[in-house]
Amino acid sequence: MNNLISIVIPTRNEEGNIEKLLNWGIKQTSQMHSSKFEYEAIVVDDSTDKTAEVAEANGARVIQGKGQGLGQAIIDGIKVSKGNIIVVMDADLSHNPHAIPELIRPILEEGVDMTIGSRYVKGGNNPGWSLKRRVVSRVACLLALPVTRTKDATSGFFAFSKNILKDVKLKPTSWKIMLEVLIKGNPTKVQEVPIQFDERHAGESKFNSKQIVAYVKHLALLFIHKHKRFVKFCVVGGTGTLLHLGIVWTLTESAGLWYMTSVIIAVAIVVTWNFTFNSLWTFAQQKDPNDGDYDWNGFYKGNPIQRWWKRSITNIIWKWIPDSSILLDIACGSSPTITRYSHAIGIDMNEAKLDFMRNKIPNGFFTNMLSDNLDFDDANFDYVLCIELLEHLEEPRKTIAEIARVLKVGGKAVIATPDYNRKWWLLAEMFIPARDQHITRFSRKKLEETCKDYGLIPLKHKYVAGCDLVELFSKEAL
């Protein structure tokens, strides 16, 4: 993965700030022992002073702006960037460049898609602001609530993985391009990083009433974009209502049918109309379980039941295994579970999911490997995870034997699989996309008996929704 950091800095008459930002700020920060990073500074300039010349003399790549505002300048900078991680910041030193490492670290190490420098999370602040300015900022964040639950919705200091903008067209409706990236890029994992917002070092603020109007307009457009499925649903329902009224009137007034007969016919036609167009238009895009990002998206952006189910399993694992020096995740897929463990190995047979995880967590290790023939030494791991895999295997005993082989004596394994002895699973399975791929049907008793044959002793268990079994085992010496 290309770990070059592209720092996009829009400027307009920042001659008094740009040299200090580039040298004292960004360059010095990039060379610090604990936070070294390679970067390119891209200055998109719309100045009438010597900002461009000063920036170029201090190593920045200068792009001539189009005079179309701050939002367009940032978009232009993103377009010419070479890095896979983009940082956007102001040139007036209100954004402390020493905070850049804290913005990019979660993206590099934790699979976060986007980080936002926030004044309104614990540790963040904006000292020196007047009461009026604080009220305006808070109101602006409140107005953004229908679009995002981000605490600092008006932040201009943010970073993101460039791949979230693949096939995304950004529009500079207002100067708040962060919201444009956040909503249209639709990142699966966002983190707010506390920052201190300082007063500008030199020059004058460009904020005015026109920008307030543009911001409100931008929020309205982003609301429509974000909730387009709901809008589509309303359109289909509205056309169905008009169709219903038209049919009833035509059949009753023109054809002379009894009113209730007309209503019954209209209802039958409209139900078919709504179902057909909602299927073809409103809910046309459905995720394939084999997609590279399926598990990751299900965890962060799935429907409420899917999110709750996946997070429940992961939270049980994180509680039982708070940290690990050596952990193996068998059939890791693209689940975020492994992100909690700094020295973990993930294996899977789905190369698309492995590629997704390699890009998402570049410091991790992911490889294609069969679960019943693990290419690891005996007694190599402290912990092994095997989540929602055994039910898909014709011979799960081989995988259980391999789990026991690679575990150290005293090591722990977490195994999750549906319990077909639980009546609730028979109902829940009807809504599982991969239910047709379930070959082996375990009960808790059957799983424990099989594991005991290989020295894996059950310690404790929990059920998700009363039917999906998650069980912790310990390896004993045979």
User: What's the rounded Cα separation, in Å, for the pair 16 and 153?
Assistant: 28
Please report whether residue 286 resides in a domain.
no
User: What's the rounded Cα separation, in Å, for the pair 89 and 77?
Assistant: 11
Tens-level pLDDT at each residue, the chain (478 residues): 467 999 999 999 999 899 999 998 899 898 875 678 899 999 999 999 999 999 999 999 999 987 778 889 999 999 999 999 999 999 989 899 999 999 999 998 888 999 999 999 999 988 878 888 889 889 999 999 998 999 999 999 999 999 999 888 888 777 789 999 999 998 989 999 999 987 665 555 555 567 788 888 888 888 888 877 777 788 888 998 999 999 999 999 888 899 899 999 999 999 998 888 777 666 655 567 888 898 998 898 877 778 899 999 999 999 999 887 789 999 999 999 998 898 899 999 999 999 999 988 887 899 999 999 999 999 999 999 999 999 999 999 999 999 999 999 999 999 999 999 998 887 777 666 666 678 899 999 999 999 999 999 999 999 998 999 999 999 997 6
- Are residues 201 and 275 located together in one domain of the fold? no
Please report whether residue 289 resides in a domain.
no
pLDDT at 130: 82
Q: How many CA atoms lie within 13 A of 410 on its CB side?
A: 0
Q: State the residue range of the domain holding 355.
A: 294-475
- Are residues 98 and 153 located together in one domain of the fold? yes
Q: Write the burial class of residue 180 (CB in 10 Å: 0-12 exposed, 13-18 middle, 19+ buried).
A: buried
- Are residues 426 and 277 located together in one domain of the fold? no
Please report whether residue 231 resides in a domain.
no
User: What's the rounded Cα separation, in Å, for the pair 419 and 143?
Assistant: 46
- The values of phi and psi at residue 249, to 5°, are -65, -45
Total of domains in the chain: 3
- Are residues 205 and 263 located together in one domain of the fold? no
- Are residues 196 and 327 located together in one domain of the fold? no
- Are residues 40 and 160 located together in one domain of the fold? yes
pLDDT at 424: 83
- Are residues 13 and 135 located together in one domain of the fold? yes
Please report whether residue 261 resides in a domain.
yes
Please report whether residue 389 resides in a domain.
yes
- Are residues 260 and 319 located together in one domain of the fold? no
- Are residues 298 and 277 located together in one domain of the fold? no
pLDDT at 207: 55
Which of 188, 203, 226 is the endpoint of a domain? 226
User: What's the rounded Cα separation, in Å, for the pair 439 and 306?
Assistant: 22
Q: Write the burial class of residue 445 (CB in 10 Å: 0-12 exposed, 13-18 middle, 19+ buried).
A: exposed
- Are residues 171 and 221 located together in one domain of the fold? yes
- Are residues 334 and 449 located together in one domain of the fold? yes
Please report whether residue 468 resides in a domain.
yes
User: What's the rounded Cα separation, in Å, for the pair 35 and 29?
Assistant: 7
- Are residues 155 and 47 located together in one domain of the fold? yes
Please report whether residue 288 resides in a domain.
no
Q: Are 29 and 97 in contact (CB under 8 A)?
A: yes
